[in-house]
Amino acid sequence: MTYFDEQLALLKRERQEDQDQYQQLTQTTSVAERRANGLTWYPIAIRGSELGRGDYLTVEVERPSHQDIPHRFRFGMPAVLFSNYNPKTDRVEGTVSHQSGNRLKLTLRVDELPDWSRDGKLGVEVLFDDNSYDEMEAALKTANTLSQKPGHPLIPILTGEQVPTFNAQTPAPVLPQLNPSQVAAVHKILSANELAIVHGPPGTGKTTTLIQAIKALIKQDRQKLLVVAPSNTAVDLLSEKLHDEGLNVLRIGNPARVSERLMALTLDHKVSTHPHMNAAKKLKKQANEFRTMAHKYKRNFGKAEREQRKALFDEAHRLLKDVGQAEQYVIDDLIANAQVVTATLVGANNYTVRDLTYHTVVIDEAGQALEPACWIPILKAQKVVLAGDHCQLPPTIKSAEAARNGLGTTLLEKCVALHPEAVTLLNEQYRMHEHIMGYSSQVFYDNQVKAHPSVARHALFADDTALAFVDTAGCGFDEKLDGTSSTNPDEAALLIRHLTQLVGDLSQRYSLGTFPTIAVISPYKQQINVLTEQLKNSPELQPYSGHISVNTIDSFQGQERDIVYISLVRSNTEGDIGFLSDIRRMNVAMTRARKKLVIFGDSATLASLPFYSDFITYAEALGTYQSAWEWM
């Protein structure tokens, strides 16, 4: 079995598991349950429609209610428009061609809306996303074929058969705004012939470093770059920052954050505002008018009317063909002039840029990227830059078997182990007090990460401690199983009491406008529900609710707050800590706080894992260990 055959087998297992979970969610649940799971918008209203490329109809829909429910609709995903009168038969499939806020555009594989769409009770639902799997599979098959022939510069290096090379003559860049490890990372990227890796622990300015490296690469190679990341949010952040640095950025796909600045970088927006599109817009309007006139003919009409209707449709199609040619000319022009193309990993194969090749591909957040998805952009490049941190959360994988057998190990992790000569560790962090950072640096980064003097001692007020471990051992705070998730209501109540006291203390020192930001996080979803409910019922905290966010650890990767509380939940006589044993998740949790980190847990249960017993020893050495009895 070749390297890529193994990857294909793992991907097949993951696809099957994903499909099974999707079917279980959709086939056995009501429309309200599917809506709660983010798969469905129901009810919806149709706000407009127009014919687009290839005579496909695009409809714009809006959800007028249930707007606060998170959803899974993303650009490029397959979805279906359905009627809840007859959901099995009255349905038309299509693709999400735009999504922002509570509106989305669905491009349907028909040229007119079916009659049932006028009867109300309409909804849209995400379909299983075969497209992403197809793209990953195709990339792995292509890589497999190329790996058996000499010539592709990256494949033998990324699979560990050869070592990367560097140009020793490359001059070191002069970047006074960066620290020495950041400058070293940019230099490594510029001198690499095939591979460079930026290992960026929390708060070390990985994005800042990448932006300067991309600018330097464009200057050095005078060629366009492809910059990708696994999530739309990460792509948005890079797109905006590159644009702020004066680069011509073309964002392929749909931004997750709908800001005007980001929208202005998208291909859709640039096409619509291109001077060559003015005439095409008039033709498109005319084509849609002809189409509307044709649809006004009743079903039963004579030969003359039928011919008239056909002539109107033919003319609409002819005009749309001219529009399509004008659009293609504009797209080619925009792509030719872009310095940086940005997209998600799968979006790098969007039909508009599918056949492009690049000198360099930059993959950000590579620690959260599935390896098969990384091969989609890699095959378009001569050189790749991987940036991320394999000591934080890995990608989400549905199949436990596939994760166990190697899909859970990212390309970043493999390359760090295979090619240490390609790695630069960013070793100065700008987020946390040194006591908050110290344990993470010790366990994950060989004590190499240090706090910048501007943050090393910053505090909420003089003499405040930056770290506290509140030990609930012996308090009788037993965990409970709620569905598939654990909760600990007593621990939650104590945490809220502790937080209330801290907020009361801070209210003497800060106005509402300057009040510190606070996050309350836990690895368990049900505990989040318990904490949210208790927070609502704490009148003293209500004036500060705008400063307090409550969420799972996973959704907090990449974020930071002045104060972070962590509820570890697990408390049992067996010493069973469940997925608290994934210490990378705890690395994320413990490194979100800038000035104060407070952790609640049961030392008797947690001590079964050295990671936690060593952390408790660390807290004791700093004099920040407290027993919950002090707060009871």
Contact, 181 vs 199, CB < 8 A? no
For residue 61, the model assigns a pLDDT of 94
Give the number of other Cβ atoms within 10 Å of residue 396's Cβ: 11
For residue 177, the model assigns a pLDDT of 96
**What residues have CB less than 8 Å from 592, skipping those under 6 apart?**
202, 519, 521, 556, 559, 560, 561, 564
d(CA 237, CA 249): 12
Angle at 394 between CA 389 and CA 395, to 5 degrees: 125
Per-residue pLDDT at 488 exceeds 60: yes
Give the number of other Cβ atoms within 10 Å of residue 83's Cβ: 19
Contact, 352 vs 212, CB < 8 A? no
Mean pLDDT along residues 269-288: 83
What percent of the chain is helix, strand and coil (3-state, nearest 5)? 45, 20, 35
Per-residue pLDDT at 118 exceeds 90: no
| Helices (H), ranges, 159-231 | 180-191, 206-221
CA distances from 428 to 75, 234, 440, 452, 458 (A): 37, 22, 13, 6, 15
d(CA 354, CA 358): 11
Cα Dmax for the chain: 93
If phi > 0 it is left, if psi is from -120 to 50 it is alpha, else beta; for residue 365 that is left
Map residue 492 onto helix, strand or coil. Answer: helix
d(CA 475, CA 471): 9
Per-residue pLDDT at 299 exceeds 60: no
d(CA 128, CA 18): 8
Angle at 91 between CA 85 and CA 93, to 5 degrees: 155
- pTM of the predicted structure, to 2 decimals: 0.90
Name which of 281, 237, 228 is nearest 255 in CA terms: 237
Cβ-in-10-Å burial (0-12, 13-18, 19+) of 623 comes to: exposed
Tokens in use for 404? 């166990």
For residue 175, the model assigns a pLDDT of 96
Tokens in use for 507? 């209210």
**What residues have CB less than 8 Å from 204, skipping those under 6 apart?**
181, 426, 427, 428, 429, 430, 449
Angle at 8 between CA 3 and CA 13, to 5 degrees: 130
CA-based torsion, 175, 178, 180, 184: positive or negative: negative
d(CA 390, CA 399): 20
Tokens in use for 51? 């014919």
pLDDT in tens, 358-393: 999 999 999 999 999 999 999 999 999 999 999 999
Mean pLDDT along residues 250-278: 84
For residue 603, the model assigns a pLDDT of 96
For residue 161, the model assigns a pLDDT of 94
Per-residue pLDDT at 74 exceeds 90: no
Say if strands 103-108 and 57-62 run parallel, antiparallel, or are unpaired: antiparallel
Residue 376 one-letter amino acid: I
For residue 557, the model assigns a pLDDT of 79
Ordered DSSP codes for 65-111: S-TTS-----TT-EEEEEESSSTTTSEEEEEEEEEETTEEEEEESSS
Per-residue pLDDT at 316 exceeds 90: no
Mean pLDDT along residues 12-29: 92
d(CA 289, CA 123): 27
pLDDT in tens, 381-434: 999 999 999 999 999 999 999 999 999 999 999 999 999 999 999 999 999 999
Q: Say which residue, 620 or 307, is predicted with more confidence.
A: 620
Name which of 576, 567, 569 is nearest 607 in CA terms: 576
Name which of 310, 306, 304, 276 is nearest 291 in CA terms: 310
Q: Considering the chain, what is the average pLDDT of its residues?
A: 92
d(CA 107, CA 80): 10
Q: How sure is the predictor about 300, in pLDDT bands with cuts at 50, 70 and 90?
A: low
| Helices (H), ranges, 366-467 | 371-378, 400-402, 411-418, 434-444, 453-456
Cβ-in-10-Å burial (0-12, 13-18, 19+) of 47 comes to: exposed
Tokens in use for 246? 């004066």
Cβ-in-10-Å burial (0-12, 13-18, 19+) of 151 comes to: exposed
pLDDT in tens, 86-111: 888 889 999 998 888 899 999 998 87
CA-based torsion, 454, 459, 464, 469: positive or negative: negative
Q: Say which residue, 312 or 470, is predicted with more confidence.
A: 470
The DSSP H or E segment spanning 614 is helix 610-621
Per-residue pLDDT at 547 exceeds 70: yes
d(CA 162, CA 91): 52
